[in-house]
Amino acid sequence: MVATPGIRAASLSERPSSERYEALIRVSQAIGAHRDPKELFRAMTTELHRVIQFDGIVVAQYDEASNEVLWNACEVCNKQNAVPPSDIPADETITKWVYQRQEPLVIPALDQETRFPRMIAFLRSKGFQSICALPLTTIHRRIGSLAVASKHTDAYCEEEVRFLSLVADQAALAIDDALNFDASRVAQAALQHKNDRLRLLLEVNNTIVSNLELRDLLRAISASIRSVMQCDGVGVALPDGESKQLRVYAFDFPNSKGLAREDILIPANEDSPAARAFQNGEPASILSTDIDRIDPLAAAEGLKSLCHIPLISRNRTVGLLSLARLEPIPFSPRDIEFLSLVANQVAIAVENALAYQEISTLKDRLAQEKVYLEDEIRSELNFEEIVGRSQALRSVLQEIETVAPTDSTVLIYGETGTGKELIARAIHNLSSRSNNSFVKLNCAAIPTGLLESEMFGHERGAFTGAVAQRIGRFELAHHGTVFLDEIGEIPLELQPKLLRVLQEREFERLGSSRTLRTDARLIAATNRDLGTMVEDQKFRADLFYRLNVFPVQVPPLRERPDDIPLLVRHFVQQFARRMGKAVDTIPTETMNVLVRYHWPGNIRELQNLLERAVILSAGPILKVPLNDLQAQPAPSTTRKAETLEVAERRHILEALDAAGWVISGPNGAASALGLKRSTLQARMEKLGIRRARAAAQSRVST
């Protein structure tokens, strides 16, 4: 309990021993439940008040190495400030005396004590008359002291000192544990900080090897640096060849006011700290007072701390890495040392990306006028008959590689002319059945009355005109693959027999009662919505679920604009070789029209147009009848319903083109779309939108 003036708590000697030890247990339990030093001290103070009279209590640590006393916790019952003045030397403190001698110190009357003059003066100024101090020691180390003080003289008898010694032993263990826990947290935080920085280096390295597009590379690196370095903005500037200034290529600053943005130029004069860091090859750190004076743009953005790190590779400065904070927190020498390591990696990335960009530019220049087959791309994908490298097509090919080794039924969805048969053949070629037959059947091309015979065969005389026995497609495809195109056209009365073949792998020929077995894998294709047909009761639900084990959606050509130049080259060379012609040049304007056209007939329409074009071409230049395309209805009137993802991708591309591919700022695409810059960048990443890829839609690749 808390003592009140003029009233003393009953001393321990006046209490039963059982009550004293119960109090000790409570103290032990209370302080053992806390690891935070402040909470531990409050709990200990509360419990001690129940059994010991005191008006103040203090826990202190003594550091031998520095000869300093650390006052961890101090309390006076009337809430006065009890922290001793910092100018009291450790040699004049009771804590050091108790620490060195490892024995309790009881001063019954402070006005008669001549030792520790400044300490005694401080205690007396708080109204204390007597004090009892005890060492805090464990078997592992000495910690400091625990002291209780009273406003009464001779407040602590021998019995109370013995009890407080037991309390001090328990408190020492708890305090030692709390201090170790606190030190562990500090060490863990330091280790986490170190690991974060090592992870940043790893992320930068991984980004370098996985991305050669310069802007995408620098944007990814900037975002990683901003997160780890706990700053508000990161930018990378590279020399601008035309203006001989520094152009900001990547800028990651979510809270930007829009004044600083990508593609702005940094003046290359000696008054600019960024330009000086670039010219001298030495890091520069600037604080708020200097920023207001020498960097008006940064000051207008509200920045209070800047750091410029030159990107140096092979003794040559190739760019500048800049970090910014909205708070006046300087970048420490250790920060600059670490950022220099990061800058070395970024410099290598910049050189590699610039080299790649130069090679890519030369390659595109050659591809503008020459027709060639991209054998490397198709061999990389392991699909010799399928031409393309778009992300949409690659996703389909990955699905093919996944399902091909299995014997599962595959249902291929896609519009007419998208190449569903090629997908089915690729699945067969990659399966263990590739050495056996691939048997195809177009269900829409066979009259309804003959479709059952085509699938399962018939016996002689089974119907009028059946003059001989006929083997069906499932029987021919034993140990191979059956491909049923336009499976949505199968009549309802035939669907149970097809379901039986899929489930039981058995059937009877038309006109026969003998059951035959087949080990044929089924691959089906359709351009119709079978789910809707099931709802309209035009297709059996059980057959639909059996077919829909592994659905594959083949994208239409309008969703693969990146593949159109490759397909054009492939078909032109194919038809030219077949017709004995040498067509090796495609005009830029022609390729642009072909890339922009909507292609309602998909690849089949493109193939037929190019065959006609090769026929019409008398010389080496391809003559495409573009009037045939212009005569088609406008895409807006022929376009089928787009998926949400396709519509979103098209809308973003239109906004980017209108903004000249500037993302942030008042005239950027993000502002036009009503989005934050970071949100737009995240959606572009999700939809696979990159400037180089999208630009292919507006330039010729012949």
Q: What is the dihedral of CA 546, 548, 550, 554, to 10 degrees?
A: 150
Residue 657: count of CB within 10 angstroms of its CB: 14
Each residue of 183-213: pLDDT tens digit?
A: 556 555 555 656 666 666 666 666 665 666 7
Each residue of 228-239: pLDDT tens digit?
A: 777 888 888 888
The answer to whether 550 and 404 are in contact (CB under 8 A) is no
pLDDT at position 11, please?
54
User: Taking the CA of residue 12 as centre, how many other CA atoms within 13 Å lie in the half-sphere pointing to its CB?
Assistant: 25
- Which of 299, 367, 11, 6 lies closest to 164 in space, CA to CA? 11
pLDDT at position 639, please?
47
pLDDT at position 323, please?
87
Q: Which residue has the tokens 């003045």?
A: 85
Domain range summary for the chain, segments of one domain joined by +? 12-183, 211-365, 391-554, 559-695
Q: For residues 92 and 233, what is the distance between their CA atoms, to the nearest angstrom?
A: 51
Q: What is the dihedral of CA 439, 445, 446, 451, to 10 degrees?
A: 50
Intrachain domains 12-183 and 211-365 with the same fold: yes
- Which of 308, 306, 337 lies closest to 321 in space, CA to CA? 308
Strands (E), 29-180: 56-63, 68-76, 105-107, 130-137, 142-150
Which residues lie across from 646 on neighbouring strands? Answer: none
Tokens of 461: 């005389």
pLDDT at position 76, please?
62
pLDDT at position 476, please?
83
Please list, in sequence order, all residues whose beta carbon lies within 8 angstroms of the beta carbon of residue 359, skipping any fewer than 6 positions away: none
98 exposed, middle or buried (CB, 10 Å; 0-12, 13-18, 19+)? buried
Q: For residues 91 and 104, what is the distance between their CA atoms, to the nearest angstrom?
A: 17
236 exposed, middle or buried (CB, 10 Å; 0-12, 13-18, 19+)? buried
CATH C-level class of 211-365: alpha beta
* Phi, psi dihedrals of residue 147, rounded to the nearest 5°: -130, 140
Q: Which CATH architecture has domain 12-183?
A: 2-Layer Sandwich (3.30)
Residues (pLDDT < 70) of the chain are 1-21, 23-24, 27, 30-37, 72-82, 180-212, 241-243, 268-271, 360-385, 630-643, 691-702
pLDDT at position 416, please?
87
Q: For residues 225 and 322, what is the distance between their CA atoms, to the nearest angstrom?
A: 10
Q: For residues 351 and 318, what is the distance between their CA atoms, to the nearest angstrom?
A: 8
* b/e burial code for range 322-359 (CB count within 10 A of at least 16 → b): bbbbeeeebbeeebbebbeebbbbbbbbbbbbeeeeee
DSSP H helical ranges for 258-324: 273-280, 288-294, 296-300
Helix (H, G, I), strand (E, B) or coil at 147: strand
SS (H, E, C) 3-56: CECCECCCCHHHCCHHHHHHHHHHHHHHHHCCCCHHHHHHHHHHHHHHHCCCCE
User: Taking the CA of residue 616 as centre, how many other CA atoms within 13 Å lie in the half-sphere pointing to its CB?
Assistant: 11
The answer to whether 24 and 167 are in contact (CB under 8 A) is yes
* Phi, psi dihedrals of residue 404, rounded to the nearest 5°: -55, -45
Q: For residues 697 and 520, what is the distance between their CA atoms, to the nearest angstrom?
A: 42
Q: What is the CATH number of domain 391-554?
A: 3.40.50.300
pLDDT at position 206, please?
66
Candidates 3.40.640.10, 1.10.8.60, 3.40.80.10, 3.30.565.10; CATH matching 559-695: 1.10.8.60
pLDDT at position 254, please?
85
